[in-house]
Amino acid sequence: MTGQTPLSDTPPWKVSALTLFPDMFPGVLGQSLAGKALQAGIWSLEVTDIRSFGVGVHKKVDDPPFGGGPGMVMRPDVMAAAIDQAAKTMPADTTRIYLSPRGKPMDQALVRDLSQASGVMLICGRYEGLDQRVIEQAELVEVSIGDYVLSGGEIAAQVLIDAVVRLLPGVMGNSDAHQQDSFEDGLLEHPLYTHPRQWAGTAVPDILLSGDHGRIADWRHNQAKAITRERRQDLWQKWCLSQDMNKNID
C-alpha cells in the first residue's frame, strides 16, 4: 500500500490497480499535486501484479484467441484470480473499471462520480485485451480515455486517477479552482492571461483590467461558448440542448 496515514479522519480515496507492470505505478502520480496528496494520505494506491496469478511454472497469463487472429488474449482464470484477490481490500461497492479503447468515453461527469465514491479498481489490459467472459463475470465497466490505442492500460489508468485526485478535498490549494475547468459546465474553458500586460506585441484584453467582475464573467462565458462552438461541435450541441431543456423546466 502506497500512501501515508491520512492527516484527517476522512478515509483515503482508495485505488487498486491490476497490472503486468507494477513498477509503472505510481509513475507520474508520485509527483506534483497527486504525489503530495498520496504522501498526505488523501488517496492510497495498492498495486496487484497480475503475473503472480499466472498459470504453470512460467506464470502464463495469455493465450492465442479462439477463432484465430493476431496477438494474444489475457486468460479469464488468471484475471479472475487477480481481481478476487484485489477485491478483498476494497469496499464491496467499488466500481471495477477495465481501461479499453472500446469502452465508454471518460468524461468529467464520470470523474466527478468517482471522486465522490470510496475508491476504484482499475484493470490494465495488455496484448489484444481480456477474455470477454471475465469482463462479464467480474462486472467490469469498460472506459476509454480517447479514440486511439495504447500499448496497455497503465497510462490510461494514471490519466483517470490524476483527473479524480485533483477533485478530492484538500488536493488543490483553491477548492473552487476546478469549477472553472473545461467541461465543468459543459463548455471548454475561456482564454487565460497574466503578466506582463504587453507581450510580443499583444495586450491583455481591456475587459480583464476593468475591475467589473460582472462584465468579466460575461466575457469569459461568451469566449467559452465561442471556443466550444468552433472546436467541439459535439459538446456545443450537447450544451445547447441542455440550455433548451432548462428553459422548458423553467
How many residues are recorded in the chain? Answer: 250
181 is catalytic: yes
Q: Which residues of 48-60 are buried (b: 16+ CB within 10 A; e: fewer)?
A: bebbebbeeeeee
101 assigned to active site: yes
CA-to-CA distance for 95 and 114, rounded, in angstroms?
8
Active-site residue (options: 51, 65, 101, 220): 101
- Contact between residue 29 and residue 158 where contact means Cβ atoms under 8 Å apart: yes
Tell me the C-alpha distance between 73 and 79, whole Å. Answer: 11
Which of 49, 63, 181, 185 is catalytic? The answer is 181
Contact 74, 100 (CB under 8 A): no
107 flagged as catalytic? no
Of the candidates 243, 227, 244, 145, the residue with the CA atom closest to the CA atom of residue 187: 227
Q: With beta carbons less than 8 A apart as the criterion, state whether 124 and 130 touch.
A: no
User: Can you tell me the distance from the alpha carbon of 239 to that of 245, in angstroms, rounded to the nearest whole number?
Assistant: 10
Q: Which amino acid is located at 210 in the chain?
A: S
Catalytic hit among 128, 142, 162, 185 = 128
Specify whether 197 is catalytic: no
Active site residues: 101, 128, 166, 181
